Amino acid sequence: MIKLIARILDAAVLFQSIILAFFIRLNFEWDLMEDYSIIESSFLFAFIGMVVGILCKRCDWMGSKAGFSNIVAVIKIVSVSFLVTYFAGELVELWSGMDYFLPLSVLIIAALVSFFVMTFYRLLFKEVYSYYISGKYPHRKIVIFGGGEAGRLSRIALTSETGSKQKIYAFLDDDPSKEGEKIGGLPVYCGLDKLTQLQEELGITDLLISVMFISPKRKREIIEECLKLNIKVSIVPSIDEWVKGDFSAGKIRKIKIEDLLCRQEISLDNPKVFQQISGKVVLVTGAAGSIGSELCRQIITNKPDLLIMADKAESALYNVEQEFKSANWKSPIKPILVDIRDVKKMEQIFKEYKPDIVYHAAAYKHVPMMETYPEEAVTSNVLATKNLADLSVFHNVEQFVFVSTDKAVNPTNVMGASKRIAELYIQALSEYLDAEQGQTTKFAITRFGNVLGSNGSVIPLFRKQIEQGGPVFVTDPNISRYFMTISEACQLILEAGTMSKGREIFIFDMGEPVKILDLAKKMIMLSDKKVEKDIKIVFTGLRDGEKLYEELVCNTEELQVTHHPKIKVIKMSPVGFNRINYQVEFFERLLIINSETDIVRHIKSIVPEYISNTSRFTMLDRLN
């Protein structure tokens, strides 16, 4: 309907502009008007203008779409209509023998008149619409942090959005030399400390971070100051989108909890990853999980010959398969519904597809759940890992990368201890192959902290609790964790495969641990809620097997640097393969007996630093 109205208005203006142009050209002498085909030429100009307007894509000039781009559309409509009408008039004169059907001077006057009138009522409508919207809805009062080119472009993008219920009042910048300047008539203030003053004087409700390059520390300071003042924070897109010219007001996003990481997000771009994966058959276990699926996304970009995605979660695996099919990747994929604990089926997969690289991400990872079912932790995290590693050796797999966890360091729970045993077995196997047989399969272990946004992690859990109106449950006010993004975790896994010579454990520089209580408070405030007033925080006490803080390195491990400043490698003391192999195989006997006490006691004998915490298995520590 809006498009139709716009076309009718444009046609009416074009029609009237020809008539007015004749009056102006003939000095308003009525007698001379009879010598020209005024009505016919007016209809011709209007008809051609309507056709051009329909063909012009930018015709939604009403409401929030009004802006400079629509003035450009007016120029297109008028100029094309002028040219087509001129040549059409010439043809009419030749065909009919008329001396003057539509004089060029009249057409020029009509084009100028129609351009100014069409531009005027577009701008008028925009102002009227803005006034209506501003009266109907309250303004968001915005201050832009960043007085550089990014801030200027943000101002233009925001002010061009009619009816967006927002108004920019000022700029903030860290550069003292910009103090007192004006950008688009708006003052520039220096320093974040001026934000309180602006809020008190102008009632600022929103702050937009619009700086092309900003350190994570400074970004965190700005966000935390805004949270303290109850000011909403948004941020402009990444520098890549600025460079590509893809920036628009619609791409400004709200602050995410990832923006409050206490360090710069690590990004790796190693051509060796492509060299290793390209043209290879790659097997990923746990491929339907949050880490496994992202790992598959990163692997597929490196053009493997075949990507095998193994998982026992039917629905999740189906969803990942559909995602990859819709993306039309050139590399073929093979989703396989299988439990990695099924040795016969896994052996069949190795025989049939002959993978060159194995990324083992499948595991049980929830601490309280594994504390309840220690036999499941043993079968999935220990025995299944052993079987996969053994199959990889038997079938001459080039690279085996095992995904571990920081909970394996000085573990206080069954889950962490089970992952520690898997680490010990892989390192012992790698050393045994190197010493006894000449190593064919290279083994690598990656160890990292909590992954933001992964299935079952604290972030989506808190988000769900906040959406439900609270309360947010925190186990202990002093509990802290290391955090990294899913993308970082998968980059480390791929990088470890290229760097490993066997037996190493790779870790990222995780920065400082984050207090979970602070995380919960910030997530509540980022949701435009107030802590305790809107959303309460309830302390529930440490869960079974949980500890207050995590570690990345054991006391017996030696931390060494690598070629990348953010990646460290751990060298462990050698472990006898025959001994650890016997200890792991002994679990199979204990599983037949099905005594969880005997199973956990055996775990503690393999991992002596495993001391249970807030668990029913603490009695075993007292007995030793």
List residues with catalytic annotation: 407
- Provide the sign of the torsion angle of the four alpha carbons 215, 221, 224, 228, taken in this order: negative
Question: Cα(461)–Cα(472) distance, rounded to whole angstroms?
Answer: 9
- 304 phi, psi to nearest 5 deg: -70, 160
Question: Cα(128)–Cα(247) distance, rounded to whole angstroms?
Answer: 27
Residue 95 zone, left/alpha/beta (φ > 0; ψ -120 to 50; rest): alpha
Residues 6+ away with beta carbon under 8 Å from 576: 428
Measured in residues, the chain has a length of 624
Question: What one-character DSSP code corresponds to residue 379?
Answer: I
The number of beta carbons lying within 10 Å of the beta carbon of residue 539 is 12
Question: Cα(620)–Cα(624) distance, rounded to whole angstroms?
Answer: 6
Q: Residue 64 corresponds to which amino acid?
A: S
Pair 101, 89: CB distance under 8 Å: yes
Residue 180 zone, left/alpha/beta (φ > 0; ψ -120 to 50; rest): left
Q: Is 587 exposed, middle or buried (0-12, 13-18, 19+ CB in 10 A)?
A: buried
CA 605 to chain centre: 43
Question: Cα(34)–Cα(12) distance, rounded to whole angstroms?
Answer: 22
Q: At what angle do helices 38-55 and 2-25 cross, to 10 degrees?
A: 150
Instruction: Provide the 3-class DSSP secondary structure of residue 331.
Output: coil
Question: DSSP secondary structure string, 493-536?
Answer: HHHHHHH--SSEEEEE---S-EEHHHHHHHHHHHTT--BTTTB-
Angle ∠(108,109,112) on CA atoms, nearest 5: 85
State which H helix or E strand residue 55 sits in: helix 38-55
Pair 472, 524: CB distance under 8 Å: yes
First to last CA, the chain: 82
Angle ∠(584,589,591) on CA atoms, nearest 5: 90
The number of beta carbons lying within 10 Å of the beta carbon of residue 515 is 17
Instruction: Provide the 3-class DSSP secondary structure of residue 338.
Output: coil
Using only C-alpha atoms, what is the Rg of the chain?
34
Of 207, 153, 152, 165, the closest CA to residue 64 belongs to: 165
- What are the residues facing 442 on neighbouring strands? 399
Q: Tokens 């043209």: give the residue.
A: 279
Instruction: Provide the 3-class DSSP secondary structure of residue 350.
Output: helix
Pair 56, 117: CB distance under 8 Å: no
Question: Cα(388)–Cα(284) distance, rounded to whole angstroms?
Answer: 11
Of 254, 252, 211, 214, the closest CA to residue 231 belongs to: 254
Instruction: Provide the 3-class DSSP secondary structure of residue 287.
Output: coil
